[in-house]
Every structure is written in structure tokens, then in C-alpha cells.
A and B are shown apart, each in its own frame.
Chain A
């Protein structure tokens, strides 16, 4: 594939679902009401770790309007993972719908289904549970010697390290060269410990699911999912319902960010509907989203880096990561591994390198996929270490970045060594605009005018800092998406894709990719997505894969359709195929003598001669995972009297290949940037001594409000990725990785203090100022 002039791609057309969303016509899962619908509520454990000795549901069952009360005795006890990943999942099978042992405050104890939500809530209060409390542990550094958290019979499908008795959910090791020798060859060695905290995705729409039987006796599930096909597979297995009897539909989704790559409500609504033969529905409260859905995995990282003073070469790098998986292990292996695999290839000339990662169980809320997926955790320390080395070398951080970052035509051994639950895939970088991102971003933030200036205004001091990043585009040789298209009498096309638009706009950009290739306009493409009965398979919306993987399928499919159209036109006009070209829904002969419209072509193919449906289907897997690149810059102001950091301006310069829809690219980058700033400065779970979340609401858990959002400048540094659809790479996740290190580096620039633990609250900053003293 090569770069060329585009008609539809590269244009910021409106999202195809924009009007319906804006006018409120769209139904979200929670809006669905059906006659006879049951409402589901959960009873949650008040203990961090306990065994249910006795559970009495009689009184609850006798409340008028209560239809079903389920405990661990009443539900299938299939071990599974809630991680909505490909099969076999690289996450341990350590979860049951309900279990006799509960593992964190907020773990499920019982399920009630009733005529109304109110009645269901009332019934919860009448369930009497006797617990035997067990020793519990909230500290990931003490996991190994603590009471076993996962079930005795928990197991892993993959041949990977999994030691439930030691609370070890996963571990990986990777090394090449001789790390010790690398350190002794170094002129100086720097070491630091970094820590990032719990956080929630805070999608506007809470998790919800609906189940009902259709007139043919098939069980339908509508849910707020990023992964409808994985939902179907997992629900079928967990409940023992044949897959053919299940249909999963994804409606419009109010944001996912990874939180909806989890399958924990669908099996419950399906079970209730299966048992009662009535429609059922569950909608999480915000508190449930915080406590009992999934979170960002907290992580501690230790970096040790040695470098040469004259050349600046990093002679050795050692990274150890300890991830807190929480009480169950969805994504425990892969998020932790990504802290290495998405980070360490960036400086690809390091000859001696070692990465060790551990994921451990604690009696705290459950981690899961979250935008950035380990890279966010890994990049904090990485970029701070690079800033520290540059300072030691006495050179500008940006020059250091530009000299050593991976470039087009280069590779890193890490691509091959570290994959998702298995070995990775070797690849050569075919597009990289990172140096341009660094240069343009530096200009936009005013780097050379502001760096090391420590401009003071009263109690406030300003600084600038930077971070560089890469991510991936799908999971290579694992993620697959497929597309189906057919042509209608008026020259319009149905595009059916398994791909999952969760608010990202993927329905729109996939239509753009198709329209571009076929030579028509987007309004001729009727998109229908994410329905396991009517669309082909797709792994779903995760791992920054939709544009690259599903887009690849759509492009292939559109190419086939184009060929079919030309074939018919050839027959109609009686000319050879290469004498034809398509422009704007019409086929012309190159000599300008003849033309035939799409409409005429379909009418011909459906009714006139040699009748057939013009249609095509195509699948695509990514053979590589070309990384998007980004340079992020923060200008901040620290109020040294009260310790408050304010972000004045933030610049995100991104190389995502060819931006299919620039405004949607900007939206993704701005959203990720703000998401990252909130994580850097405020967002955190506050636990009591039993691991109970004390701030499980938007009242107490603060995400940035509109007034907290600084001036954000998004710069698109366009490249062309030859393996991507129309040159595109991914863009959705990468922007969340840089705010923490860029802000940390800016704080150092302002006041000479290295912050190593997020969030950078005024409490923490003031403490650091008091203990380290500021250098102005």
C-alpha cells in the first residue's frame, strides 16, 4: 500500500451516529425496558477475606416481588476469567459467578432478581450471612507470605507461571546481553522506585446488561460491552448454554476505556433469564462501578539504568515491576508484561537489558484492562529516568530522546521476546514520526524559552517537562476482525462489522475506509456493527486495534467489492478491466467515451443478466503491531506554599500514521491527555484498613472538570504506515501514558524535586518540598 491522494480518508466528517446521540434518540442498555422485566441487585461482602459459613435467604425470598435469590449453592461453579480476551485467554481461571469464599470488600455474595430495583434492594437487606473471617492482605509487597487468595483449584490455560498458593497471578522474565557487566561498564548508575495507584475508567455510562428470550427461544444479551464475541463465548462456557442459542448485541456505548472488556454482568442476566424465562436487567450504580467492576492496576516499578558519560549510551537497564492484580486476575499477565513490552523497545540500542514482572493477588478491588494497559505504569519511571540521565550528562532531554529513540527501519529484540501470554512477533518499524513530534511539540510548548528558567511569580514557579511514548496497533497474530459488505439497488452498501464502536467513532472511520476504497461517499455506507448473529467475528475494541485490524478487514472487503463492481461494469460496457476507473460512484472508461453509475451496475447485476448479489467478506489479522508514537509536553506551575500543581499548557504531538479522521484523532488524544492528567494529579482510591473504598463516588473521587483542563494542543505528525489501512496506525490509548512523567519532569524543572509516587496531590508535593527542600 502506498500513500496517495484521498477523497474521504483524512477528512473530518461528522460521526455517523452524532445526530442520533445529540438528540437523545439512541437507546443505551440502561434505557431498555420490557414487559415483565426483572431487576437484579447484588449483595456484596463487607469483609476483605472470609468464608461464607451460612447464608439464609428465606426471609428475602418471601418478600412480595422477589423472584429469585441466588447464592453460590444455586449457580454453576465453572471457573473462568472475566477478561474478555481471545481464546485461550492469557488470564487465570480463578473466578466463579458466586463463591463460598469472598476475597475483597465488594466481592459478590448473592444475587437477587425482583419485580423492581427497589424490591431487589430491600431483599438484599434480609439475606442473613454468617462469615468466618480469614487473614487478609492489602500490600502487594507482602503477597507471597499471605493467606492464599485465589481458589485452590484455580488454573491457567497457558503454559505460564501461575502459583496460586503464593498469590502469584503471573510473572515474566526477559533478558538479553549481560546486565551486570553493563552496569560495571557504566560511568554512572541511577536507581529509583516509582509507584502508581488505583484508578477507575469513569466512563459516563455505567456497566449494564439485559437478557431476554426471543420468539425462537434464543437467549439474547444486550450489554455495555467492548467485546460482544468474547461475551458469547464466555457466557456459553460458564453457563453451559450452547453457543448457537446465544445472541449478543452491543448497542451504543457511553465509553469503555477497557472497563467494558470484562464479562461479569452478562452471565448473571443470562442466568436469571434462563432460570425465570423472563427478561432481566442489571445497571450498576456508580459505587458499584468503582468498587465491584474493574480498575487500573496499581504498580510499583524499580528502574536501574547505567550510562556512559561521553556518548550518553545506556549500557544497561533493569526494570522490575510488581503489579497489584487485586482479588482476581483478569489481565494480570498481559498488563504487567506490557509495562515492559510497550515501553522498553523505545530506546532500542540498549545492549544489556533485563525485565522482571510479577503480578500478585491482594484483597483489594480487581484490576483489569484500562487505556494504556501497563504502558502507563511503565512509562512513568522510564521517562523520569531518561530525564535524570540527560541531566547527569548535561544535555537537553529532547536531544537525548532524539538521539536514541527507535527509528524507521530499526527493530528491537523485545518485539519478538515478549508477547501477550506467548512469545511476541518480530517486526521492523516501517513508520516513525517521533523526532518530528518532539520538535513540533517543543516549539508549541516553548521548550527552549522556558526550560531551566524557573520563572517565579509570588509563590508560584513554572517548569516544563516532556515524555516520549509508543504503544501498539492490536495484538499481532492474535487479534482478528472481519467485515462483510453487499451492494444495494441505489448504489448504497451495507457494511457489517464485528468491530465495536464504544463511542470512539469507529463505525464512522470504518465507513470512511470502505468509501475511500470503493470510490463512493460515506453517506452511501450503511454501517451495522457488533451483533453476533448478523456481523462477522471481531475480537472487539481493545489493544488499540480497531482502526488497524478491523480497518484492515474493511479495506480488504472493500477491495473485493470494488473488483466485483468493475467486473460487472466490464461486462456491461464490454471493455477490459484495466480500461476502467471509478470516481464518485460512477465507473468511467479511461478514454472518456463511456460511463455507468453504481446504481445501473447493481440493477444490472440483480435483475438484468448473469444475476447475482455484489458482495464480499474478508478477515484480517495483524501480522505486526506498528506502534504509534507520541511526544507529550507539560508546562506547569507549582504553588510552593500550598503544594498545588497546576497544568498551564499541555502539548501532545502524535504520529498515528495516516489520520483517517483528524477530528476524531484529536478527540482521542485530548481525551487520553485529560484522562492522564487526572490520573497524574488527583484520581485515587482511598481505602480504610480493611480495603473498603472510602471515596466510591464522583463526589469524593475527582476527575478533571472543564475548568481544570488546561490549554491542550494536539499536533498530528502524519506518517504513512505501509501495513495499515490507508496508512493508519492506532491512536486511542497512547495519550494517557505521558502526562504523569511529563508533569513529574516539569515539576523537577520548576523546583528540583523528583516526584516518584502518583497522584501528585498537594499533600504529597508539600511533603516532598518539606523533606527535600526546594532548589530554586
Chain B
């Protein structure tokens, strides 16, 4: 397979400023997308730019109160890092299978921007920001602003995703559920990531994100606001029903070979309800 192997980040950005390439990190999405007959190399529509080996694009660190994960960090590294919040680690541990997690990167999952991308719901609820670099510019966007549709995002052809960063939340409740056909190498029928914190009976934080139930991951801050600052004793059946119904307006899944719209919606809302019930005192 032909392609360009830059020696540094600068060289990669320089190359991108001159012509269109397809950046390839782990290749676990791309090699499947462009595969051909057995024994033939895949056929890429533009020249691949290999970035998986670039040291500056790999690593996890804590900077002040933020965790910074470089784009080409392997999924398996993130899964094992104690710096990374468990909600993201849990999500990654249920992605693909060990072999793919040893090749695939978080940047690849983000830029691939699939509605079923499993790192996305946790990154949405973590209020993660993505940093994009081009030869002359650095941009920083919230992940939910970056992703615009199925397979669509704000990345320009001359940019690389450089890193993803987020503050570590101080939550008391957490839920991550992925429903797939089987336990490994199965894309999500749907997934739910949720965080909340309640102190002295007061809910001071509540965030929930849904994957594979709409063209992009779903996070609705206006509904979250309604839950926030409530006292747990206010989580009546009526109130929970109201919240569930409101999310129902936002969850618009489709029928496909993996599942049905009805199932996805029903289960997404059932898991939401389960999470709200977790917050209630027993």
C-alpha cells in the first residue's frame, strides 16, 4: 500500500497544507471501509497519511484539572490508564476486541464520527473538547459542536485532530451500558453513558448521553437542567415520567440490520429511567 509516512507532527501538517490526504491512525475503520478482494491491498480514494507512529500524537496526561489524551493514543492504553475516568474506560473496554483495541485510536473513533462510535457518549457527558491543528492554526471545539452528522464533522482537510481534553467530574453516580448483539466485535444497538452527583440529597450534577439512537450522539442540556438542583425526594414517578417523555422527543433511532427503532428507543428510555431511579434514596 502506498502512502506518506511523516517523521513528525510538523511534517504531517506541512503535507496536509499542500494536498489532500486521508490520515490513517490505527486503520481499523479505514482498512475495512476501503477493503477489496482477499489478497488485494485496500484502495484509498486519496493517498493515506500515516500518523499512528507519531510520538507527539500519543500519550495521556493530567494538566492542571484536565485530562489530555492525544489523538493517536491506542484504545487499549486509555482503557488501562488510571488517569482516565471510569466511564470512558468502561466504554472502551466493551469496544471491538483486544486486537482491534491494540490498533484503534480514540482520534479515529472521534473523527470517524459514527452514530455508533462508543467513545462518543462518554466524551459528550464529560464535556470533552477536541483540539484541531493545521499548519497555521489551532482550534478548540466542544465535541458536540465538532460532530455534525453521521460520519460528518468540522474537521477541514488540512487539519489533524491533535488531542481531546476534559475535566474530571466529581460525581457520585455513574452508569455505562452498551447493548450489542454479542460481547465482542459488535457495534452498539445503542449505548448510554450517564453521570450524576447528589450531595446531601441535592442533585448538583446530571448528564446523560445516548449513542446509536439518532444521527449523532444525543445529549440534551435543557432537560439535564430540569433534573439538576432538585432534591432527590422530588424524583416522583410523575417527574421521572416527564423527563423520560422529554427525552423521547430527542431519541429518534432507525431500523437497521442491527436492531429496530422501537427497541432502541424503548431500551434507551428504560436505561434512563433506571439511572434516575438510582438517584432516589432507597
Q: Which residues of A contact B (CB under 8 A)?
A: 117-118, 121, 283, 285, 459, 641-644, 682, 686, 694-695, 699-700, 702, 704-708, 761-763, 766-767, 770
Q: How far is it, in angstroms, between the C-alpha of A530 and the C-alpha of B263 when the chains are bound?
A: 50
Asked if B274 lies at the interface with its beta carbon under 8 angstroms from chain A, I say: yes
- Chain B residues lying within 8 Å of A705, measured Cβ to Cβ, are 97, 182-185
Pair B37/A285 contact, Cβ less than 8 Å: yes
CB-based contact B270/A708 at 8 Å: no
A642 to B179, Cβ gap below 8 A? yes
Is the pair B38, A702 in contact by a Cβ cutoff of 8 Å? no
Q: Given the complex of chains A and B, what is the CA–CA distance between A708 and B259 in angstroms? A: 19
Determine whether the beta carbon of A708 is less than 8 Å from that of B183.
yes
Pairs A-B, 9 closest by C-beta atoms: A707-B183, A763-B263, A695-B257, A686-B257, A705-B184, A702-B181, A708-B182, A707-B184, A694-B257
B residues touching A (Cβ–Cβ < 8 Å)?
Answer: 32, 37-38, 40, 97, 177, 179, 181-186, 189, 257-260, 262-263, 266-267, 270-271, 274
Residues on the A chain within 8 Å of B267, using CB: 641-643, 762, 766
Residue from A641, A700, A762 in contact with B271 in the complex, judged by beta carbons closer than 8 Å: A641
Partner among B184, B185, B186, B260 whose Cβ is within 8 Å of the Cβ of A763: B260
A559 to chain B, nearest CB (A): 47
Residues of B within 8 A of A643 (CB): 263, 267
Contact of A285 among B38, B97, B263 (CB under 8 A): B38
Determine the chain A residues whose CB is within 8 A of the CB of B182 once the complex forms. 682, 702, 704-705, 707-708
Residues from chain A with Cβ under 8 Å of B181 in the complex:
682, 702, 761
Q: Considering the chains assembled together, what is the distance between the CA atoms of A21 and B268 in angstroms? A: 47
Evaluate contact between B274 and A641: CB separation under 8 angstroms.
Answer: yes
Contact A700 B257 (CB under 8 A): yes
- Asked if residues A762 and B263 are in contact (CB atoms below 8 Å), the reply is yes
Contacts of B179 in A (CB 8 A): 642, 644, 762
Establish whether residues A706 and B184, one from each chain, have CB atoms under 8 Å apart when the complex forms.
yes
How many contacts A-B (CB < 8 Å)?
A: 60
- A459: chain B residues within 8 A (beta carbon): 274
Q: Is the CB of A121 within 8 A of B263?
A: no
Residues of A within 8 A of B270 (CB): 641-642
Q: How far is the CA of A704 from the CA of B183 in the complex (A)?
A: 9
Contacting residues, chain B, for A642 (C-beta < 8 A):
177, 179, 267, 270-271
Residues of the B chain whose Cβ atoms lie less than 8 Å from the Cβ of A762: 179, 189, 259, 263, 267
Could you say which residues of chain A place their CB within 8 Å of the CB of B38?
A: 283, 285
Nearest residue, chain B, Cβ from A770:
B266
| Beta-carbon nearest neighbor of B264 in chain A | A763
Residues of B with C-beta under 8 A to A761: 181
Across the interface, which residues of A come within 8 angstroms of B263, CB to CB? Answer: 643, 762-763, 766-767
User: Considering residues B40, B257, B262, B270, which has the most beta carbons from chain A within 10 angstroms of its beta carbon?
Assistant: B257
If A705-B97, A705-B184, A762-B259 are given as contacts, then 5 extra A-B residue pairs at C-beta distance below 8 Å, sorted by A number, are A641-B267, A642-B270, A643-B267, A706-B184, A762-B267
Given A641-B271, A700-B257, A118 and B183 contact (CB-CB distance below 8 Å): no
B153 to chain A minimum Cβ distance, whole angstroms, is 23
Give the CA-CA distance A761 to B177 in the complex, in Å.
17
CB proximity of A205 to chain B, nearest CB, Å: 12
Chain B residues within an 8 Å CB radius of A706: 184
A761 to B257, CA, bound (A): 12
Contacts of B186 in A (CB 8 A): 702
**Whole-angstrom distance between the alpha carbons of A397 and B128 in the complex?**
56
B173 to chain A, nearest CB (A): 15
Which of B32, B189, B259, B263 gathers most chain A CB within 10 Å? B263
- Inter-chain CA distance A642–B271, complex, in Å, is 8
- Cα A761 to Cα B189 with chains together (Å): 12
Q: Which residue of A lies closest to B263 (CB)?
A: A763
- Please state if A708 and B271 are interface contacts (CB–CB under 8 Å): no
Residue of B nearest to A459 (CB): B274
Query: Are B259 and A118 closer than 8 Å at their CB atoms?
Result: no
What is the CA–CA distance of A766 and B189 in the complex, to the nearest angstrom?
14
Chain B residues contacting A641 (CB-CB under 8 Å) are: 267, 270-271, 274
- Cα distance A235–B166 in the bound complex, in angstroms: 67
Most A Cβ at <10 Å: residue of B179, B182, B185, B259 = B182
Asked whether, in the complex, the Cβ of A763 is within 8 Å of the Cβ of B259, the reply is yes
CA distance A700 to B32 in the complex (A): 13
Q: Which residues of B contact A682 (CB under 8 A)?
A: 181-182
A-B contact pairs, 27 of them (CB 8 A): A118-B40, A285-B38, A459-B274, A641-B270, A641-B274, A642-B177, A642-B267, A642-B271, A686-B257, A699-B32, A700-B257, A702-B181, A702-B182, A702-B186, A705-B182, A705-B183, A707-B182, A708-B182, A708-B184, A762-B179, A762-B189, A762-B259, A763-B262, A763-B263, A766-B263, A767-B262, A767-B263
Residue of B37, B38, B181, B266 with most chain A CB atoms under a 10 A cut-off = B181
Separation of A707 and B94 alpha carbons in the complex (Å): 11
Q: How many whole Å from B208's CB to the nearest CB in chain A?
A: 16
Residues on B with C-beta less than 8 A from A700 are 257-258
> In the assembled complex, which residues on chain A have CB atoms less than 8 Å from the CB atom of B262?
763, 767
* CA A303 to CA B266, docked complex, whole Å: 33
Considering the chains assembled together, what is the distance between the CA atoms of A283 and B186 in angstroms?
27
Nearest chain B CB to A79 CB, angstrom units: 33
Q: State in angstroms the CA–CA spacing of A615 and B182 once bound together.
A: 54
Q: Taking CB as reference atom, which chain B residue is nearest A644?
A: B179
Residues of chain B within 8 A of A117, CB atoms compared: 37
Residues on the B chain within 8 Å of A766, using CB: 263, 266-267
A121 to B274 Cα, complex, angstroms: 52
Q: Which residue of chain A has the shortest Cβ distance to B40 in the bound complex?
A: A118
Report A18 CB to chain B, min CB distance, Å.
25
Residues of A within 8 A of B258 (CB): 700
Q: Which residues of A contact B271 (CB under 8 A)?
A: 641-642
Please measure, in the bound complex, the distance between the C-alpha atom of A699 and the C-alpha atom of B260, giving whole angstroms: 17
A304 and B1 alpha carbons, distance in the complex (Å): 62
Chain A residues with Cβ under 8 A from B184's Cβ? 705-708
**Which residues of A have CB within 8 Å of B189?**
762
Residue of A nearest to B183 (CB): A707
Residues of B within 8 A of A118 (CB): 37, 40
Give chain B residues whose Cβ lies under 8 Å from the Cβ of A699.
32
